[in-house]
């Protein structure tokens, strides 16, 4: 590795030669990119292009066939507390008996371990996370009594309480109305300015330049990765979206090959 490359990865995330397969059919194929901390990164690509797969692989939820993920110059193997994965909202049981505060406290459980009791320091971290996401008036509400945007903020607060450095968000803007999207955009910027790295899969192309600093264009293979100004071009987008996604030699019902 060149000196230049090792310097740049010392303060960020470096992915090299990453391949993830389902039943030997690659969903991600030899992906390589580098992003520094303090950035908002859009993950773009058609359905079935491997956006969720990349997020899950980064979160340590999927084994990789080849490749390496490094954060701050150290290889990441499996799950780590430095990364927080925020699932799509449909994946959550909103009737679960917990309040907003209870949800944010879950972020501390990993820090406190199984046995150590929950201390003043934890309470303070939870308070700060709730305040940062402007959730104070809602802290005692049951989580189903929140709007979509508030639910996103509650999960971001949990990631903050966990003291994660990398936020992996699956479609955070989907289903939010315009003012709520603007709020979320503002909050993601605040997190970015604190030096967090935010990687979010995203569907709405026109809003990309207003929200994100960097883009990763994905369709099984990496099409392009870099600053929005350089990479978010018509030519790259056409290349990303006009090619059918790869679903293996035979029809395979887990993928959305032809939609």
Partner 1 sequence: MDWLTEPFQHEFMRRVFVGGALIGFTGGFLGAFIVLRRLALMADSLSHSLLPGLAVGFMIFGLAPMGLFFGALVAALIVAVGAQLIARSSRLKEDTALGVLYTVAFSLGVVLISFVKVRVSLVHYLFGNILGLSNTDLWMIWGISLVVVPLLAALQRPLLLTLFDPTVAASQGIRVNLLNFVLMIALVLTMIASLQAIGVIMLLGLLIAPAATVYLLCDSYPAMLWGGGLIGMFGSCAGLLVSYRLNLPSGACIVLVLGLIFFAAYLFSPRYGLLRKLRRARHFHEDSLARWEKYDGKKQ
* Position among 85, 167, 173, 246 found at the interface with partner 1 (CB under 8 A): 85
* Position among 7, 79, 131, 210 found at the interface with partner 1 (CB under 8 A): 79
Tell me the closest approach of the beta carbon of residue 1 to partner 1, in angstroms.
27
In the numeric block, which tokens belong to residue 185?
Answer: 């955009």
**Non-local CB neighbours of 73 within 8 Å, separated by 6+ positions:** 6, 9, 10
Alpha-helical segments (H) within the chain: 3-9, 51-58, 100-112, 120-132, 148-161, 178-193, 208-211, 228-231, 234-241
Q: Which of the residues 186 through 225 are near partner 1 (CB under 8 A)?
A: none
- Nearer to partner 1 by Cβ, of 121 and 204: the residue is 121
Q: Which of the residues 16 through 75 are near partner 1 (CB under 8 A)?
A: 56, 59-61
H/E run at residue 217: strand 214-219
Sign of the alpha-carbon torsion through 87, 88, 93, 96: positive
Question: Which range of residues in 85-93, 146-154, 179-187, 230-238 is near partner 1 by CB under 8 A?
Answer: 85-93
- Nearer to partner 1 by Cβ, of 15 and 84: the residue is 84
* Position among 33, 71, 83, 167 found at the interface with partner 1 (CB under 8 A): 83
198 burial via Cβ count (<10 Å: 0-12, 13-18, 19+)? buried
| Residue 163 found at the interface with partner 1 (CB under 8 A) | no
Binding mask 116-145 for partner 1 (x = CB under 8 A): --------------------------x---
- Nearer to partner 1 by Cβ, of 74 and 109: the residue is 109
**Helix, strand or coil, per DSSP, at residue 161:** helix
Tell me the closest approach of the beta carbon of residue 152 to partner 1, in angstroms.
14
Q: Which of the residues 87 through 106 are near partner 1 (CB under 8 A)?
A: 87, 91-93, 96-99, 102, 106
Q: How many CA atoms lie within 13 A of 163 on its CB side?
A: 9
| Number of chain residues interacting with partner 1 (CB under 8 A) | 29
Q: What are the beta bridge partners of residue 167?
A: 84, 198
Inter-residue contact 157 to 135 (CB < 8 Å): yes
Question: Which range of residues in 30-38, 63-71, 82-90, 175-183 is near partner 1 by CB under 8 A?
Answer: 82-90
Q: How far apart are the first and last CA of the chain?
A: 40
Residues that bind partner 1 (CB under 8 A): 56, 59-61, 78-81, 83-87, 91-93, 96-99, 102, 106, 109-110, 112, 114-115, 142, 162
């Amino acid at each position: 590795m060149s000196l230049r490359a090792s310097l740049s990865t010392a303060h960020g995330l470096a992915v090299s030669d990453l391949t993830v397969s389902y039943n030997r059919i690659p969903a991600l194929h030899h992906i390589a990119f580098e992003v520094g901390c303090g950035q908002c990164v859009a993950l773009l690509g058609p359905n079935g292009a491997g956006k969720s797969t990349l997020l899950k692989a980064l979160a340590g939820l999927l084994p990789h066939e080849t490749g390496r993920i490094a954060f701050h110059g150290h290889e990441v193997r499996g799950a780590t507390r430095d990364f927080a994965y925020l699932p799509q909202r449909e994946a959550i049981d909103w009737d679960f008996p917990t309040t907003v505060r209870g949800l944010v406290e879950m972020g501390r459980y990993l820090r406190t371990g199984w046995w150590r009791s929950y201390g003043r320091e934890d309470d303070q971290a939870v308070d700060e996370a709730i305040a940062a996401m402007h959730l104070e008036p809602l802290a005692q509400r049951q989580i189903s009594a929140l709007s979509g945007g508030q639910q996103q903020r509650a999960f971001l607060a949990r990631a903050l309480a966990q003291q994660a450095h990398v936020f992996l968000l699956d479609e955070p803007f989907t289903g939010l109305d315009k003012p709520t999207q603007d709020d979320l955009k503002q909050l993601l910027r605040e997190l970015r300015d604190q030096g967090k790295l935010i990687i979010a899969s995203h569907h709405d192309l026109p809003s990309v330049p207003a929200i994100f600093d960097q883009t990763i264009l994905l369709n099984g293979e990496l099409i392009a990765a870099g600053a929005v100004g350089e990479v978010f071009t018509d030519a790259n987008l056409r290349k990303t979206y006009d090619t059918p996604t790869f679903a293996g030699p035979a029809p395979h019902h887990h993928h959305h090959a032809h939609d």
